[in-house]
A and B are shown apart, each in its own frame.
Chain A
Amino acid sequence: MEEYPEELRTPPVALVALVGCPELHAVISTHLHSEQPPINTLALPDFSKISLISKTPKQPPHSAQSLGIFKRDWLLKHRTRVPSVVAALFTSDHVSGDPAQWLQLCTDLENLKLGNIFAELSNTYYRDEGRRIKTCLERKSISSVELSIRYCFKVAVYAEFRRDWVEALRFYEDAYYTLREMIGTSTRLPAIQRLVEIKTVAEQLHFKILTLLLHGGKVVEAITWFHQHNTSYKGLVGAPEVNFLHWEWLSRQFLVLAELLDMTSATIQSTVIATDKLSEWEFSSAYYYQLAAHYLKEKRSCFELTLSMSETASDIDGNAESVAPSVYVGQFARLLEQGDTYTMQPITDEEYVRYALAEGKRFQDSFEIIALLKKSFESYTNFKAQRMASYCEFKMAREYFSVNEFGNAKLLFDSIASLYRKEGWVTLLWEVLGYLRECSRILGSVKDFVEYSLEMAALPVSIAGVQSLSSKECGPADPASLSQREIIHKEVFELVRGESGLASNEENNSVRVTGDQPLHLEIDLVSPLRVVLLASVAFHEQIVKPGAPTLLTLSFLSQLPHTVEIDQLEIQFNQSVCNFTIVNGQRPQSAAISNVQPGHRVETAPALMLSTNKWLRLTYDIKSDQSGKLECVSGPHFTICCRAESPASMNDLPLWKFEDRVETFPTKDPGLSFSGQKATQVEEPDPLVDLQLGVSGPALVGEIFAIPITISAKGHAVHSGELKINLVDTRGGGLLSPREVEPFSTDNLHVELLGVSGLESEDDNIRKIQHSFGLISVPFLNEGDSWSCNLEIKWYRPKPVMLYVSLGYSPHSSEPNAQKVNVHKSLEIEGKTAVVFSHQYMLPFRRDPLLFSKIKPGPDSDQMASLPLNETSILIVTAKNSTEVPLQLLSMFIEVDDDDIGSLAQCNTGLRTLQTLHSSCLEKSSRRFSLSFPR
């Protein structure tokens, strides 16, 4: 669109001229320019310059055969040089007249609105001009079609000056249709130039129409119009030697529409709804950018063909210099210098072709094509039309490839390949990989070359090879076929064996895989190279004891078309002691064995051949370890590192998943194929230390209950031993009362771990974390030694409790990360209430009828009783031993104070001391006296 002259791209603005009083011109110009609609001014300082805008007398155009459709500078002339109104400004002292009219003049001047009057006058001028030409048109007295087009164009432009868009559109369309009729009939110019002129004019008219439609918000009409324009001119290719001009022209039509759509897209976005005729994508500029690029490519290929067929290039260059655009739109002429003046001389078609070729050589089409595709790509990406965007990306990459920018091409191809991989479009992936392979070859990147080659060779293409004719449509890789895969497979293995080199364009020598430059490929779980080599590892047992042997099955699968022979397999684990190497027995001379470190386990397999789609299964025994990485090695300087996968969690090969092939399991045992894991759990060794909990009978509430713990080391020494003690409610729930969330207090506590006694050093041996959890460190014990301590636990409520004691120690060293052995013991201990207190009052004899016959508990206190005042009441207190052990009651206190009567009992069995009774006992026996008077 930038190629169009400014006056064509913007709507015309009325022009007025100011003469005289130059000091006021700036003010007036600014004012008029800010009017709505704006008016441009042509300022002439004084009347001597008025001749500039005087009209040169024209010969009546009807008489002669017109030389062109319209002049190149006509529109510019009317916008910048031909004013519609001329205003002459005079200072007041230059005006003389009847003083009686002076006042009237002043009033008139007061009322004069400059902007309005100018707008009105220029409107009238343009209307009159338009009407004048329209009359000519209507009289049908025009001699030639050219004139009729020119008149329509002029009427339309005048209408545009008046902002009468409807009329402008109508006359532009008239001009356009008349022009279309001219194609077969005009004979004024030589054939090639005739078509060029018509197309150039059509382009301008089309552009005007399109702009008017789009600015009017008629997007659907604009697109429909464009399609019509496209259909009527698409076939007019013209002479074969200049057909590239046609494609360039067509490409420009699409580009201009795309740019116009981009400019208006903000406004149309909301209004556009796909109609019956047009679908949604036809409103997006991306589509038109893409087609513009497509036609520009067509242009380039035609241009190259023409250039190769034409005479020597120097001849073209020399001749074209004096040819220039002539005064008429779409025409070219030779400039002849005659002294000071130039004259235009018509040129022949041959001269024109040479000129066009010379002009065409100045442009770098590829970069233009890439720029167009890039716009299209960005636009599609914004629409989240990923596949469309990828197609544009592919074309971009191909352009880069054709202009030898292999780095850029590779980047783009890489990103497209991932989409086609994901969606499994094998033919397209093959094509892209073919380009990638070629790019990496030229860039001298051996690793990439090998990777792309291997991937191509392993693609699911099973079409038997077609005898391919090298077509320019095809990429560097020939069409996908099985034979092509085999060729690639052979090539790449010759390369990695060092038998052949990779001919790179970068430095003229070929790149080889040698000992100095070994090649190492990594295949992980998401790598596209999983089709090349899939490794799976399954331990036959999920849990093994240390030192006990277990079986391990290694399975390999390859989709390469030929059998691959592996020299050596290195299996690595996360515990490096277990690593081992499998050597191909048929290749004992292989140099790779020398890499093996002394003391390393080496197994020899009779053959390590990987055939297509057939699992290579190897089973070995292994001792005490977990698996980590699996590495397999092939070729003297070529290694592939392959992450092992568990058969159970192994994903299908995405591209081969839906192919017609025999499905086999990685292991012989199908059960193992479904459940096998690449890791195994190694158990800890059996403990050789005894842990004893010596407990006699149930615990009593209130008592400090001691539980002796004995650790005797029988087979192991105990290093950095640690006892973990945990008290758990057997019925579930906590050892605290349900109100545990409340701030912690001993009131809520039912069972508490108090401490440990019987330790030699008392300091910091128990680290209490909670009231139910403790951690005790055990000193070093030699084999045969024993150690003991007493746990002190106190019950506050009768409750059965599980006591868990676990001893963790390391049998060999006291290093913090040495392997630990654990011994667990648990014991259920019941807490019982030792003594149950109860009490009752002896009821008084019924002596007074007013006295209550029954002592009822008050409503607000559960055990409240009313007793008669000044009478002796008898309270019977009962203490009952509810345990199986005999208890000796030592003393019992019943205390009375103003508010409370508390009872405190102390009893002794000789063995156990219950120092205090739990508050529940107190609550039961505490009483409050209340006074009551008979009324």
Chain B
Amino acid sequence: MASTACFMIVSRNDIPIYEAEVGAAVKEEAAHQHQFILHAALDIVQDLAWTTSAMFLKAVDRFNDLVVSVYVTAGHTRLMLLHDSRNDDGIKSFFQEVHELYIKILLNPLYIPGSRITSSCFDTKVRALARKYL
């Protein structure tokens, strides 16, 4: 498992709707540092997302040892991961499974698209996926 990984879901209007520190060395204090990097990477994703039909954009940004990988859904929700591991396949599977979870959240009639995901079940599952793949 990667020692550092910060996972965020950013809605189509650029607002973060879910965030989790999923690295082995969880440092909540550093969370905002990771978020700064992820926020800055949105600029690149914005440019890159329209140049390719692929959903998985690997290593869009690099900051020191930290790499940003992004998965853009059809609704332009961005799943962003800041990580230091190079396990591309694992990251891709992680994204795909989180995407499925996200779709299930969207199917909930009480969930307003674009609002914060507060489901603790979702949180637990995402963390389990992170342990499995990252």
Contact = CB atoms under 8 A, between A and B. Distances in A.
A binds B: yes
Interface of A: 279-281, 291, 294, 380, 385-388, 390-391, 394, 420, 423-428, 430-431, 466, 468-469, 471, 473-474, 479-480, 657-660
A279 B58 CA distance: 11
B31 A660 contact: no
A237 B38 CA distance: 28
Nearest to B34: A427
Contacts of B64: 291, 294
Interface in B45-77: 47-48, 59-61, 63-64
B15 A388 contact: no
B45 to A, nearest CB: 10
B47 A423 contact: no
Contacts of A657: 115
Contacts of A280: 44, 47
Contact of A281 (B16, B42, B61): B61
B84 to A, nearest CB: 14
Given A479-B28, A659-B115, A425 B33 contact: no
The interface centre, meaning the residue of B19, B27, B30, B39 with most chain A CB atoms within 10 A of its CB, is B39
Given A427-B35, A468-B29, 9 more contacts: A279-B44, A280-B47, A291-B63, A427-B19, A427-B31, A471-B29, A471-B30, A473-B30, A659-B116
Nearest to B114: A658
B112 A658 contact: yes
B2 to A, nearest CB: 19
B42 A387 contact: yes
Contacts of A660: 115-116, 118
B17 A658 contact: yes
A425 B28 contact: no
A428 B6 CA distance: 14
B44 A469 contact: no
Given A280-B47, A425-B16, A660-B116, A474 B29 contact: yes
B129 interface: no
The interface centre, meaning the residue of A386, A391, A468, A469 with most chain B CB atoms within 10 A of its CB, is A391
A506 to B, nearest CB: 28
Contacts of A480: 32
Contacts of B40: 387-388, 390-391
A633 B40 CA distance: 41
Contacts of B37: 391
Contacts of A469: 29
Given A279-B60, A387-B40, A479 B35 contact: no
A387 B15 contact: no
B32 A431 contact: yes
Contacts of B44: 279-281, 385, 388
Contacts of A427: 16, 19, 31-32, 35
B97 interface: no
B35 A428 contact: yes
B43 interface: yes
A386 B115 CA distance: 24
A431 B11 CA distance: 21
A473 B29 contact: yes
A466 B63 CA distance: 27
A305 to B, nearest CB: 19
Contact of B39 (A425, A468, A471, A479): A425
A658 B47 contact: no
A425 B112 contact: no
Nearest to A460: B116
Contacts of B35: 425, 427-428
Contact of B28 (A380, A426, A466): A466
B14 interface: yes
B39 A387 contact: yes
Contacts of B115: 657-660
A657 B15 CA distance: 11
Contacts of A479: 28-29, 31-32
23 contacts: A279-B44, A294-B64, A387-B40, A388-B40, A388-B43, A390-B39, A391-B40, A394-B36, A423-B15, A423-B39, A424-B15, A425-B15, A425-B16, A427-B16, A427-B32, A428-B35, A431-B32, A469-B29, A471-B29, A474-B29, A474-B32, A479-B28, A658-B11
Interface in B80-106: none
Contacts of B43: 380, 385-388
Contacts of B31: 427, 479
Nearest to A481: B28
A466 to B, nearest CB: 5
Nearest to B37: A391
A428 B32 contact: yes
Contacts of A291: 63-64
Contact of A658 (B15, B27, B30, B36): B15
A519 B111 CA distance: 42
A797 B48 CA distance: 74
A479 B28 CA distance: 8
A427 B8 CA distance: 12
A41 to B, nearest CB: 49
Given A281-B61, A291-B64, A658-B17, A391 B112 contact: no
Contacts of B41: 387
Contacts of A394: 36
A186 to B, nearest CB: 29
Contacts of A428: 32, 35-36, 39
A424 B30 contact: no
The interface centre, meaning the residue of A385, A425, A431 with most chain B CB atoms within 10 A of its CB, is A425
Contacts of B11: 658
A692 B42 CA distance: 74
Contacts of B59: 279
Contacts of A386: 43
Contacts of B19: 427
Contacts of B32: 427-428, 430-431, 474, 479-480
A810 B65 CA distance: 81
A423 B15 CA distance: 5
A380 B29 CA distance: 27
A417 to B, nearest CB: 13
A391 B42 CA distance: 11
A431 B114 CA distance: 23
Contacts of B30: 471, 473
B61 A391 contact: no
Nearest to B59: A279
B95 to A, nearest CB: 18
A243 to B, nearest CB: 16
Contacts of A387: 39-43
A513 B59 CA distance: 52
A387 B48 CA distance: 15
A469 B59 CA distance: 32
A210 to B, nearest CB: 19
B16 A424 contact: yes
Contacts of B17: 658
B29 A423 contact: no
